[in-house]
Structure 1
């Protein structure tokens, strides 16, 4: 039995994550803490000035931990508010993919995830600052995958059918990007189908794009997908393998100025950001405190 130290916890709940209702998650959390001495507060996302409201709650309550209950979008929303502060982020995976939770080695079982939030190990992870406007915890990219994110967001059908239609539309409309990449390691000129800014290793689908990914190494990788035929793309998108080594080029860097000849699709942590010609990215080391499993627990 672990010794109990009363903690003040603020749960930020996305009521639609993973198709689950808000009553299910709040009820489960309350039931779990029934015999604990911790203080709980709840905030339900509404989509209207959520960031301002969450900050108000954080400043008023001054919690020991702020727990994002949702998918990657919810985790990113809370992380944006906590970066560079002394507050600690906890994650209760409640989305459909939970790519960030998987990358951090967090259990997807909700009881086990709550155990990590209470008794895990606090660690400071890196993030990538994108255009000095937002952070990327996981993966940002320009090209094919960003196009797929856009098409899937616009798709009238969800699930595998919606994803399949989006993949076919992406393959039909794919374009080569002509880019200049100015990094702290030198300048690179490339033609590519996709350029990934990778703090992490894999997408939420399980596809490994950056085997070198490490959230605490003070670096991020640019992964340049220079060539990929139709069958290779289809295999990668429908499996949990990794991009073939012969099709990619990887560089570990800390700063990047990316310029393209024509505007290209761009996404950050699964959120489409439009068509851009320039992106500035830089690593921000150890700026986000996160509750992770203790070494040896996973």
Structure 2
């Protein structure tokens, strides 16, 4: 019999998680899966719980939360045989949406009964772990404002984006991408393992979390009149067709930095005060993915 630990972050997103344990009992076959449930109590607690699951012989850790909680669980499972599953319950749910995991909790639980195992990559950013996206531009600015907001959820995020979009000024970044230096003026600069921020806003159209390659997406300086079309392209996954979009692919990236630089890792705000070294950690996480994703990749 398989042992699954469901780690639930009660503070992620805006919807109550009190009903989740009952859904788990209803959807998971007790003849096949021995389910255990734990609720997080503070930041970093999901990592502690996931590490204990590894030590206690669990087959899988199922994260019920947003991208930040997924990050906490995944870093504890990196380079282990314990698999990661996701029941999306956050504000953005970028990695879950990349893999086509339903946002409805009941439907997401059903995919665990019909899924396959996929080895995916992660990123090491100095001494920090990233599984989805690492941002240094406008997205990082929004992440810091979102972290300071009293309210969470999609509508708070959209309100911040719309309120700040026309105020934010592009910045200059000096990067070394696989040994080659690039000076970039960017509104958005995203280092990506997954394809999107969340809410189907695709910033790295060609990113594949299992290809062993880091994607770097740059939204260059653009006239304000082009803003609506760029937002539309991001939501429709056609940003790569814009002349204001540029992308690179690499194994290793160095961001030269000597200021207090606001960033985000998987949607969680952070600050770097020195150079930022990004390394690929290929096939470091084994993930439970819906069968539909496997079919989609084949086609």
The separation in 2 between residues aligned to 1:253 and 1:93, in whole angstroms, is 29
Q: 1:22 to 1:65 in 2, by over 3 A?
A: same
For structure 1, the residue ranges without an aligned partner over 5 or more in a row are: 1-5
For 1:3, the equivalent position in structure 2 comes to none
The separation in 1 between residues aligned to 2:149 and 2:44, in whole angstroms, is 26
Q: 1:275 to 1:37 in 2, by over 3 A?
A: closer
Which of 200, 203, 207 lines up with 1:209 in the alignment?
203
The separation in 1 between residues aligned to 2:263 and 2:91, in whole angstroms, is 22
CA contact (8 A) 2:263 2:270 kept: yes
Asked if 1:55 is matched to 2:54, the reply is no
Which of 213, 217, 224 lines up with 1:230 in the alignment?
224
Which of 270, 273, 282 lines up with 2:270 in the alignment?
273
CA contact (8 A) 1:72 1:269 kept: yes
Kindly report the root-mean-square deviation, in angstroms, between the aligned alpha carbons of the 2 structures.
Answer: 2.5
Asked if 1:134 is matched to 2:131, the reply is no
TM-score (norm 2): 0.87
CA contact (8 A) 1:155 1:162 kept: no
For 2:289, the equivalent position in structure 1 comes to 292
Offset of 1:201 from its aligned partner?
1.8
Offset of 1:148 from its aligned partner?
1.2
Which of 182, 188, 196 lines up with 1:188 in the alignment?
182
Asked if 1:20 is matched to 2:15, the reply is yes
Offset of 1:24 from its aligned partner?
0.5
The separation in 1 between residues aligned to 2:243 and 2:270, in whole angstroms, is 29
Tell me the matched-pair count: 290
Question: Which 10-residue stretch deviates more, 175-184 or 285-294?
Answer: 175-184
TM-score (norm 1): 0.87
Question: Which 10-residue stretch deviates more, 44-53 or 263-272?
Answer: 44-53
Offset of 1:261 from its aligned partner?
6.3
CA contact (8 A) 1:152 1:166 kept: no
Which of 103, 108, 115 lines up with 1:108 in the alignment?
103
Question: Which 10-residue stretch deviates more, 29-38 or 65-74?
Answer: 29-38
Which of 242, 245, 250 lines up with 1:248 in the alignment?
245
For structure 2, the residue ranges without an aligned partner over 5 or more in a row are: none
CA contact (8 A) 1:71 1:96 kept: yes
Asked if 1:75 is matched to 2:88, the reply is no
Question: 1:223-267, CA deviations, whole angstroms, 9 ceiling, x for partnerless residues?
Answer: 122212324334444771343521121111010001146543211
Question: 1:94-145, CA deviations, whole angstroms, 9 ceiling, x for partnerless residues?
Answer: 22332110112223333342233233110100111111x2222211111111
